[in-house]
Structure 1
């Protein structure tokens, strides 16, 4: 799997279809975004540095629009991991814990929040040993090399299989890029504009018979046409 703008082409092909494990459970303005702001809901500062750098490589910016980092995916991940999804509240987590096979899906004892925390620490330790810098300080070529190694299961993260973490990070990055902006990602509808999805409008009756014609209306979120403003307001009253 190549970590380059071709991934954006992949997102356009899959449209708004994201993995069935997607859990949009946290919403609000409590987390910091990629441009700074209030303290994060889940990630420590160094962890957020990793998330911003890694998501920027997984879905990079190009002529078609911003990358995942600027589209708010770090905020999405921060809010999700601080909420029920991060705590695996809807998952069976009682064990036993044998080594599973790929077809069995997630088989670890760690909740998503625990997995992210342990994996990020292990990745930065690996980068310090190999490059003398944390992941966020590496060149983009070096970051891509580390991501490829994670994807191939070649980075020692202790009890966390690096391939499992990479797959979850990639899945969650896609979710944040394509989910409704109400959940913190898809800022300024970057993901929806890329795939041509106008959002969950309440009424399409007039357009039902307009086959093959462009849809001229602007994107709209579950919380309106300017979801960033609504999220900021939610943060003020939460």
Structure 2
């Protein structure tokens, strides 16, 4: 059951109240230290942060599959004057690496059946793991285009034809072979592309924190006390990844 704040408690007042409570709880030794000019009040990298994903090669996709995914993410998030496109942001790398984890194997999902069509609010209810959905979905796209576009691949289509095909997938107007639901597969890859574009760069996407810089999102900075009361003002510092900033590194 979801708990909601009382109607009179605005989001800003709630966050301000929580910030005050947290600061009050740490007002002793933590506030006495002059960070960032002094010693950090915690041991950098003493926990177990996510493993930094680096580009280079494909861990799940075949070269042909990777070319298709890179072309798709670049049309879902095309380059413009605000940011790089989905390919240069590393969205395909993010998806590739996720599919080698429990996300790809669906280990944390109930996969024993029965498998029956669910309500739109229930999401995917089928028997294929996420890795299988990608393998089958990309294979079905290749077969469909080979049969209906004179042997073309998705990556070889013009941008206009790519967009038209993706729109037809989104609308469920494309009948892909091998029992692949085009609309459901489009929703899957769209969601993963968005995750790769906006997630922390430690997971392989959002290269150089491009989307965070575009939005003005500060990322995983340690201390906001100096700025918490400065409402409606742009945050003046660059974003920081979970991997930390250079001045956090152990000497």
The TM-score normalised by the length of structure 1 is 0.78
The number of residues matched between the two structures is 197
Of residues 132, 141, 154, the one that matches 1:135 is: 154
Counterpart position of 2:136: 118
Higher deviation after alignment, 209-218 or 70-79: 209-218
Task: Quote how far apart the aligned CAs of 1:160 are.
Answer: 2.0
Counterpart position of 2:199: 179
RMSD of aligned residue pairs (Cα, Å):
1.9
Task: Quote how far apart the aligned CAs of 1:99 are.
Answer: 2.2
| 1:109 partner SS | coil
Could you report, residue by residue, the CA deviation over 1:157-215 in whole angstroms, capped at 9, with x for unpaired residues? Answer: 32221111100111110000000000000001111112220101111011111112221
Higher Cα radius of gyration: 2
Task: Quote how far apart the aligned CAs of 1:40 are.
Answer: 0.7
Counterpart position of 1:146: 165
Counterpart position of 1:194: 214
Counterpart position of 2:91: 73
Cα pair distance change 1:90/1:45, threshold 3 Å: same
Task: Quote how far apart the aligned CAs of 1:103 are.
Answer: 2.3
Counterpart position of 1:83: 101
State the distance in 2 between where 1:79 and 1:26 align: 13
State the distance in 2 between where 1:94 and 1:177 align: 32
Higher deviation after alignment, 145-154 or 115-124: 145-154
Determine which structure has greater relative contact order: mean sequence separation of CA pairs < 8 Å that are 6+ residues apart, divided by chain length: 1
Tell me if the contact between 2:209 and 2:239 (Cα under 8 Å) persists in the aligned partners: yes
Tell me if the contact between 2:216 and 2:235 (Cα under 8 Å) persists in the aligned partners: no
| 1:68 partner SS | coil
Tell me if the contact between 1:87 and 1:112 (Cα under 8 Å) persists in the aligned partners: yes
